[in-house]
Every structure is written in C-alpha cells, then in structure tokens.
C-alpha cells in the first residue's frame, strides 16, 4: 500500500498567511493519515519563512512553502511541560492546574526550586476530559508517539498504541488503518545551548535580528489596559488556578489527603457471550486485552468472551493512580 501523508504537519507557531487553494473536498478521505512534527523552543526569529535570521532551516522552509502558514498563533506557556499539557488537552494550563513545571517527580537539576513539602503529582484533568489521541483511537485510528510525552500526568494505556523511541505508524498491524503519529525532535531544545556550547555556530551572531521591546508610551499602556480587562474577563469565565498554592491545589484534587486517589477497578460482567466493563470512578478510561503479548484496546462497547478466557483490564482517570487486574471469565 502506498502511504499518503496529507498536509497536516502542524505548525502551531504563530491567521493564515497564504490563501487556501480551492480544493475538491472529495479528494480527501474521511479519515486522513496525520503526522504531527513537534519541535522545541522555536520562535519566528529562528525560521526564515517568518523572516527570521536565527537559523538555517531549508527543509522547514520548503514545507512551509507548500503549507498553510499561521501568523497569529502563540504558545500559552514559555516552557515545555505546561505547553505540552495544553497541546495534548487543548486547554489552558492554568484552567486545569498544569502550569507548574515537571511535577511528576522532583528534578535533580532544579531541586532547590521546589516548594517546601512538595510531593510529585499528576494533574487531575477535569471531569469528562479525554486526550485527543484516545479519542482518535476510539474512532479507529492507530496512534503512535515518538517519543517525548512530558504532559504533567501519567499517560493512561488508552492514549497510545505505541509510545517509545521506536514508535512509528509503520508498525500498525493493519496497513489500511488510518494513523495519527507524533514525532518529537529535541535538537532545538533550550538545553542544547549549554550541551553544545563548544560546537561551531552556523549563524554569525552579528547578523541576528534582536526582537524589539515594547515602548513605554500612552499607546502601549492603553492596549495593555485593554488586554488586562480581556484577561480578567477570561479568568471569570474559565477560572484560573495559577494563584493557588501548588500543594493546596493538589490536596484539593486528592480530597484533602496526602496521596492521589486510586481509580476503582473495572467491574467485569460476562452475559450472553458479551463482556461488559465499567469503573465506578467518573471519567475513567478503560482498557482491556486478552493476553499480555498484545497491546491494550480502548473499551467502547461490550465485546465477545467465553467462560475460561483470560482477561486483563486497566482503568485510569488521568491524575489518579491507575488500577489493573487479571482474571478468568466466569
């Protein structure tokens, strides 16, 4: 089968610059294959297609020339983990409590920066919220991630068919299955500034255009005041957890306790040759498999089963601890 990658390489960098050509929509399949390329710590100053002088990016320039280019899309956080929480949920970090940096466990490189009494935690997503890779799996997609996650929460097994340095859409068992594949590149990560500081620069610092700063005048102050009002209106509508003490916010999620709740194990029922699964934990995602040698499936509806079959089940509300058990169907 010849693989067709449709132009959904997502450049969420900065409304449309190029006019969208008129295309017969019947040319596109109902479920197109999607590849999402993720880079780190880029800005318009790094890419020639945006007029930047900070780097040589011929392949990205060529891709941009054939793509829709966005000029008014911005990151909602200036560091990767909170940004990735937004990318995977579509929600502002401060509206879901994912605005702090790398909370799953203290980082040795920033140990002194953690508040007194800090305990590692996963962000507890709002009731009913699912990540879109899981929604795509529910719609029949094969999903893969290669390989960085860093979403501020432990990913449930329902999110990805594969998530590892070897994950690839080519690994899907059915070549006709539509796929969604993320490839993450860290070559532009801010850590490379010091990890490769002794390597030769590809761009002369003298020709780099330094971004301008805003002037302190009446026009700027008027616009900032207008934006401040819009920001306050946004907070009133969506809420903002940024002002809460971090561990107070976490204990609220945990029902006032010092440990996260555990997702309740799925209830398994075998009736008339069909297996039904349910977890009493609201918003829990449920996965199952009949052998440890196969991948997890997202539970959508009752499936076929027989007495004596082995069954492995997993329930996980994001932010809670997952539960997993194995049993013989009766």
Supply angle C-alpha 86, 87, 89, rounded to 5.
65
Please indicate whether residue 39 is annotated as part of the active site: no
DSSP state of 201: P
> What's the CA gap between 224 and 215, in Å, rounded?
12
**Considering Cα of 74, then 79, then 81, then 82, what sign does the dihedral take?**
negative
Smallest Cα–Cα separation from 10: which of 55, 63, 78, 59? Answer: 63
Please, which residues bridge with residue 297 across strands?
A: 288
Biggest CA pair distance of the chain = 77
Instruction: Identify the helix (H) or strand (E) that includes residue 30.
Output: none
Q: CB 265: neighbour CB atoms within 10 A? A: 18
DSSP assignment of 190-254? TTHHHHTTTSPPSS-GGGPPPPPPPP-SHHHHHHHHHHHHHHHHHHHHH---TTS-HHHHHHHHT
> What's the CA gap between 52 and 208, in Å, rounded?
8
DSSP state of 318: B
Per the CB < 8 A criterion, the answer to whether 5 and 35 are in contact is yes
**Residue of 34, 39, 80, 167 with catalytic role:** 80
Per the CB < 8 A criterion, the answer to whether 180 and 141 are in contact is yes
Annotated catalytic residues are 80
């Amino acid at each position: 089968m010849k693989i067709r990658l449709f132009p959904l390489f997502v450049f969420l960098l900065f409304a449309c610059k190029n006019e969208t050509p008129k295309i017969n929509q019947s040319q596109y399949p109902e479920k197109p294959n999607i590849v999402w390329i993720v880079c780190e710590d880029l800005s318009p100053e790094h890419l020639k297609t945006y007029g930047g002088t900070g780097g040589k990016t011929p392949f990205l320039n060529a891709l941009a020339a054939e793509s829709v280019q966005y000029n008014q899309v911005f990151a909602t956080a200036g560091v990767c983990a909170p940004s990735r929480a937004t990318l995977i949920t579509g929600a502002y970090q401060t509206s879901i409590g994912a605005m702090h940096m790398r909370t799953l466990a203290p980082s040795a490189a920033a140990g002194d920066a953690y508040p007194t009494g800090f305990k590692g935690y996963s962000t507890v997503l709002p009731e009913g919220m699912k990540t879109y890779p899981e929604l795509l799996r529910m719609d029949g997609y094969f999903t893969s991630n290669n390989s960085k996650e860093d979403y501020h929460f432990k990913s449930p097994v329902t999110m990805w068919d594969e998530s590892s340095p070897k994950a690839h859409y080519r690994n899907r068992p059915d070549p006709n299955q539509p796929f969604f594949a993320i490839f993450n590149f860290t070559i532009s990560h801010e850590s490379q500034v010091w990890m490769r500081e002794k390597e030769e620069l590809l761009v002369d610092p003298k020709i780099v255009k330094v971004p301008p700063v805003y002037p302190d005048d009446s026009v700027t102050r008027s616009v900032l005041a207008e934006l401040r009002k819009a920001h306050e209106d946004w907070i009133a509508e969506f809420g903002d957890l940024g002002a809460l003490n971090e561990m107070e916010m976490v204990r609220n999620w945990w029902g006032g306790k010092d440990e996260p709740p555990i997702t309740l194990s799925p209830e398994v029922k075998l009736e008339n040759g069909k297996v039904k699964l349910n977890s009493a934990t609201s918003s829990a995602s449920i996965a199952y498999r009949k052998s440890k040698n196969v991948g997890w499936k997202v539970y959508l509806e009752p499936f076929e089963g027989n007495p004596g079959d082995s069954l492995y089940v997993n329930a996980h509300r994001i932010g809670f601890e997952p539960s997993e058990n194995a049993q013989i169907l009766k």
